[in-house]
Amino acid sequence: MKHTGVLTGRLMKHILRSPDTIITVAITPIAIMLMFVYVFGGAVKMSLPANVNYVNYQLPGILLMAIASGIAYTAYRLFMDVQNGMFPRFNSMPIRRSSLLWSHVLTSLAANMMTVVIIILVALIMGFRSSAGILNWLAVAGILVLYTLALTWVAVIPGITAKSMEGASAFSYPLLFLPFLSSAFVPTGTMPIILRVFAENQPVTSIVNSIRALLSNQPVGNQIWIALAWCVGIIAVAWFFAMRAYKSRI
């Protein structure tokens, strides 16, 4: 834990000295949120119940988009450490080798949570309101942390194995647009049958539905268990292949 803390502090200093990274990650999701609320919101609200605040409805999907955008920088930071020979240098020191990867993972978690806070503050200015209690907010935070860890461990794989900087970060593009093929912006019942089947059986939909229900203080049902199962499953699989990639490359 001591080694991981020191190495995480090293990476956090890079981020805090260049806060434009967090701002850049937040800009695209905020722009999409503004566009959907003020440009497409009038048309989209026709498919929603009359009492639904569209800012509240789409915020969970925007948060997941921000996290997917942020993990591209995790892969980039890992790639640069590999290319600059930082891993062999650290491995020659009396440092627990797992601390090297965990420092990148924890840095990703901290940076993405900062972005989430920024987006929620912007949503509040746009009219977002929540009747959720403290336990609901803690549950939302827990889901977002698990989702961030899941995507971060996925990002570790290209960060270690990529041959170029573009290849290290390009994998995040499909993850960034996955919320569009879910219930994040419109109900899945309005979609064509093939797209609806995909949307209702992919991880983002269950995660979005769980966060939306928690923030509106509504019953969550089985959606939260499906969301947690997706997150834990992705973490387990991604961690396994990330460790294999790390051992074979480093």
Contact predicate 68/149, CB 8 Å? no
Contact predicate 74/107, CB 8 Å? yes
- pLDDT < 70 regions, the chain: 19-20, 41-43, 45-50
- The token duo for 66 is 């921000």
CA 131 to CA 133: how far, in whole Å?
7
- Residue 47 has a pLDDT of 65
DSSP string, 148-170: HHHHHHHHHHHHHH-SSHHHHHH
pTM score: 0.87
Amino acid at position 114, single letter: M
Contact predicate 43/117, CB 8 Å? no
- Name the burial class of residue 216, with classes exposed (0-12), middle (13-18) and buried (19+) by CB atoms within 10 angstroms of its CB: middle
Which residues fall within 8 angstroms of residue 137, CB to CB, at 6 or more apart?
Answer: 130, 214
DSSP reduced 3-state for 144: helix
